[in-house]
Amino acid sequence: MRIVEFEIGNYKEIWKKMVEFTATRTKNTKDELWITEHNPIYTLGKNANENNIIDAGDIPVLRVDRGGEVTYHGPGQIIIYVLIDLKRKGLNVSDLIFILEESIILLLKKYNIRASRMKKAPGVYVDSMKIASIGIRVSRGCTYHGLSFNYDVDLEPFFGINTCGFDQLNVTSLKKLNINENKATLLKEINEILRDKLVN
C-alpha cells in the first residue's frame, strides 16, 4: 500500500484527483492512502439535507459524492482518504468503516482516552462527542473519500451546522482533551495501525 502526503490545500482539487484515480485504476493498481488537511470548507454528502447548514458564514459549501450528511473540514484535522479495491481486500463497505473507526479508537487508547462507536452514526466518539468522521464512496468496487480526525482543529465552525445531521451532536478534538501531541507523531501512529489492518 502506497502512502501519499499532500500539503494543506483545496478540497475540490483533491476530490477531483480521487475521482480520476478511481476511474482509471486497474486490477493491478496499488491501493493508496492519501494524507492531507484542507482549507476551511463545509461538505455535504450526495443525499445530505441542506437544512443541516445553520449558518455557513464565509465558509464555502460544496456538495460531494460521498455518503453521509454535512461536516466541516479545516486546518488541524488529519484527513485520510482510502483508495482501495474492496474485492481484492475481501472487504465490504461496513468492514472498511469498522477498520477506520478502530484505527482511531486504538490510537486514542494509546493516550488513555476511551473512545467508542455509535449506532447509525459512523465515526468515533469520546463521551458522546465526535472526534472523527467517516464518509465513503464506492465506484467500480473501489473506494475513495475516507476519514477526518480532529487533533487541533478550530471547533467554532461546527456550531454553524448540525454535524452529520444531528442537531444535538457535540464535537471535540485531541487538543480539547488536553493531548498536545504533534501531527507527525499522530500520522505515524495512525498509518502504522491502518497499514497493519489493511495490508494483512
Angle of helix 93-110 relative to helix 183-199, nearest 10 degrees, comes to: 140
Residue 142 annotated in active site: no
Long-range pairs of 95-100 with CB within 8 A, sequence gap ≥ 24: 96/136, 96/143, 97/122, 97/134, 97/136, 99/194, 99/197, 99/198, 100/132, 100/134, 100/146, 100/147, 100/194
Which among 134, 164, 177, 193 is annotated as catalytic?
A: 164
The residues that are catalytic are 164
